Amino acid sequence: MVERWAGQRSAADRKNPSQEMDHQRNAAYPFIDQETKQIIEPQRHIPVLDTCDVLVIGGGPAGLSAALSARRAGADTILLERFGCFGGVITTVGMETIAWYRYEGTVDSEGIGVEMEKLAAKMGGTIKWPYNDSECLDADFFKIVADHLVTEAGVRPYLHSFATEVIMEGNVIKGVIAESKSGRNAILAKRVIDCTGDADIAHLAGAPYRKTAREEMMGVTTVFSCAGIDKENFLQYTRKYTATYADWGRTWDKVTTGKEDQLPSPYLGKEFEKAKELGLMPKRLDTISGSWSALSDAGEATNLNLVHMRGYDCTDVRDLTQAEMQGRRDTLYALEALRAVVPGFENAKLRNFGMTLGCRDSRKIIGRYSLTENDVKSQARFEDSIGIFPEFLDGYNVLILPTTGRYFQVPYGCLVPEVVDNLLVAGRCVAGDKISHSAMRNMMACTVTGQGAGVAAAVSVKEATSTAGVDITKVQGELQRQKVRIW
């Protein structure tokens, strides 16, 4: 190989150029039952690819936090991710604002989420958010940040691996079956943490869950980025016509406390109304509006969170397909409007889409405890607290920013599903009602539940107890050792 890099040609056997063994699948194939018209899959043996103490499925903010905290607590940990990178919504959707809510007065979470943000900044992978001291993560660079964290901690990674079935003994989960280019393989684990966002593993294991009615679900988003922006011209425009949170949601009735209404905001809304008046956008597109985030000196505008679509279920492959295609089509209207109406965007061109849709709303488990609207609005306190999150709500027409220092504690019980043991759930699919979900779906909140789940799984392995019966005081002690604020 060194000689090849140096430009030296090596001898080759032209009669047998591959010099590789032939392979042929010899397993029985699924077939159609002609009477029922169902597909019958013959019984077959599935090889065990790997084993571990803690298996985390999903490598987004929740999954990264779960895997890192479990490993730091001493557990042999595997992190399984269906895409080719870790980072989840940050890297695959392009949502670069993990904690944009930090206006003056915020008391924020502590732990791995903040650590990831600070490390990204230290490595040169952030740009300051326009209206407060929060950081915008560079979505592509964060792939490198995540790789570094996983490698440094000693977490064992599996990318390009999609968990498609669970392995159960009674009501106890023992691992999963994953599909990849290596085929269909099993990974066995003493504890499993579902960080899929959609509670996929909990669903497969038979844990009960709820779903908001399709017509009431929060919309999905196609996030895109542009190049060719005149940065200074655009910033002059936003300084002259500064949007506030009173401008948010021109097409829906939002609920605030009032203190949010005059805060400066990176919102674009009236611009698209003007584009409609000019005939540049169809009248039906009443959901195109939203926020811009980072502007680079090279003229790139990333994380344009403008194209929203309602009425799609993120657990239905037909809906996902239709939304992906509609989102790309609607982005072209949004881009044409930006070019025509927004100073600085005259020469803008599409740079890229996120790798997948941004999904906000799907399954939420029924847990030992379900968070309520009152909990997240009234500074709830819990004996089994695993962390705190500021009073930040964003969803279902509610927008509350944590500028008065208020926060609530996150209980371990909302991670513990009913029926299934040795399974924990972290991320936006933890147990709670609609309004509590508008808080817990946020990425920094997902890191809180992820770190809590990772530590609880590791402690339960060490103490030879189940996740349902783990000593919460020992979990809290390890979380505090990992610099998590739980009170």
Q: Are residues 132 and 275 in the same domain?
A: no
In a domain, 178, yes or no: yes
Q: Are residues 207 and 219 in the same domain?
A: no
In sequence order, what are the beta bridge partners of 211?
363
Q: Are residues 335 and 390 in the same domain?
A: no
Q: Which of 353, 384, 401 is the last residue of a domain?
A: 353
Q: Which domain holds residue 332?
A: 215-353
The token duo for 380 is: 């709830």
In a domain, 27, yes or no: no
The token duo for 464 is: 């030879």
CA-CA-CA-CA torsion for 467, 471, 474, 476, nearest 10 degrees?
70
CA distance 72 to 69: 5
Q: Are 453 and 193 in contact (CB under 8 A)?
A: yes
Q: Which of 305, 325, 353 is the last residue of a domain?
A: 353
Q: Are residues 467 and 414 in the same domain?
A: yes
In a domain, 292, yes or no: yes
DSSP code per residue over 46-78 = --EEEEEEEEEE--SHHHHHHHHHHHHTT--EE
Q: Are residues 75 and 182 in the same domain?
A: yes
The reported pLDDT for the residue numbered 286 is: 87
The token duo for 478 is: 């390890």
Q: Are residues 255 and 124 in the same domain?
A: no
Q: Are 243 and 289 in contact (CB under 8 A)?
A: no
The reported pLDDT for the residue numbered 18 is: 52
Q: Are 412 and 471 in contact (CB under 8 A)?
A: no
Q: Are 455 and 479 in contact (CB under 8 A)?
A: yes
Q: Are residues 329 and 376 in the same domain?
A: no
In a domain, 291, yes or no: yes
Q: Are residues 208 and 275 in the same domain?
A: no
In sequence order, what are the beta bridge partners of 290?
268
Number of independent structural domains in the chain = 2
Q: Are residues 68 and 189 in the same domain?
A: yes
Q: Which of 327, 353, 379 is the last residue of a domain?
A: 353
Q: Are 415 and 425 in contact (CB under 8 A)?
A: yes
Q: Are residues 238 and 169 in the same domain?
A: no
In a domain, 321, yes or no: yes
The reported pLDDT for the residue numbered 11 is: 52
Q: What is the three-class DSSP state of 223?
A: strand
CA distance 434 to 432: 7
In a domain, 29, yes or no: no
In a domain, 21, yes or no: no
Q: Are residues 206 and 325 in the same domain?
A: no
Give me the tens of pLDDT residue by residue for the chain, a chain 487 residues long: 334 334 444 454 545 545 566 667 776 889 999 999 999 989 989 999 999 999 999 999 999 999 999 999 999 999 999 999 999 999 999 999 999 999 999 999 999 999 999 999 999 999 999 999 899 999 999 999 999 999 999 999 999 999 999 999 999 999 999 999 999 999 999 999 999 999 999 999 999 999 999 999 999 999 999 999 999 999 999 999 999 999 886 656 789 999 999 999 999 999 999 999 999 999 888 889 999 999 999 999 999 999 999 999 999 999 999 999 999 999 999 999 999 999 999 999 999 999 999 999 999 999 999 999 999 999 999 999 999 999 999 999 999 999 999 999 999 999 999 999 999 999 999 999 999 999 999 999 999 999 999 999 999 999 999 999 999 999 999 999 999 999 9
β-pairing, 423-425 with 393-395? unpaired
* CATH number of the domain within which 71 lies: 3.50.50.60
In a domain, 444, yes or no: yes
Tell me the whole-structure pTM to 2 decimals.
0.94
Q: Are residues 60 and 170 in the same domain?
A: yes
